[in-house]
Amino acid sequence: MYITDWMQRIDLQEEIQEVYLHTFLFKLGIKLVAIFIPFYILELGFNLQTVFLFFLAYYGVYLFASWTNAVICSKIGYKHTMLLASPFILLFYLGLRTVETQTTLLGLALIGGTAYNLYWTGMNPELGKSSDEKSREEETGFFLSMPQLASIFSPIVGGLILAYQRLTHCS
């Protein structure tokens, strides 16, 4: 099945289609911003070691928060878990704009890694619940490919936005 075949049969009345679209848009948005985070941290005056420490904390807590987040997810439900993660993801990005110390930066990395993990802890079981048992393999393939497609398109979209912005400022 080609991507154009899938695009022609998008039906947002089906919950699985909502999951596909949501994962694509979420990953596109995250990747549009995430590519600039290391440069932004350097621009704030922190050194390269701090950038590495930031990502070590971010992905380290991402690994270790899975069990705790799974318990939260099982108590409040998958969709509520994804909704709960949203303000913390927003806090992470807003906090990056006001960070002044390395301690604050690392605290934000812990918040961001935990929130991002909480989001995906809710999203992955949602696929299992929404998918049809007869076509689960195909639907899982779409689910896993949507974020990958977003990861491919996000640098292109980001580059086009920057190029457009540069053209409008130069004129």
Tokens 């993801």 correspond to what residue? 89
Look at residue 163 and tell me if it is in a domain. yes
Give the chain's residues under pLDDT 50: 1, 6, 8, 12
Say what the pLDDT of residue 4 is: 55
Domain interval for residue 144: 137-171
Say what the pLDDT of residue 57 is: 96
State the distance between the two ends of the chain, measured CA to CA, in whole angstroms: 45
Q: Do 125 and 93 have their domain in common? A: yes
Tokens 């704030």 correspond to what residue? 44
Say what the pLDDT of residue 121 is: 81
Look at residue 164 and tell me if it is in a domain. yes
Say what the pLDDT of residue 9 is: 52
Return the number of other C-beta atoms located less than 10 Å from residue 105's C-beta. Answer: 20
User: For residue 77, which phi and psi values (nearest 5 degrees)?
Assistant: 100, 160
Look at residue 122 and tell me if it is in a domain. yes
What's CA 12's distance to the chain center, in Å?
21
Query: Which of 139, 38, 163, 136 has the alpha carbon at shortest distance from 96?
Result: 38
Q: CB under 8 Å, gap of 24 or more: what pairs does 60-65 form?
A: 60/113, 61/109, 61/110, 61/113, 61/114, 61/117, 62/113, 62/114, 62/116, 62/117, 65/113, 65/114, 65/117, 65/118
Q: Do 68 and 120 have their domain in common? A: yes
pLDDT, tens only, 50-60: 999 999 999 99
Q: Do 119 and 148 have their domain in common? A: no
Q: What is the CA radius of gyration of the chain?
A: 18
Angle at 120 between CA 97 and CA 106, to 5 degrees: 35
Q: Do 111 and 142 have their domain in common? A: no
Say what the pLDDT of residue 126 is: 67
Say what the pLDDT of residue 3 is: 53
Say if CB 82 and CB 123 are below 8 A apart.
yes
Look at residue 31 and tell me if it is in a domain. no
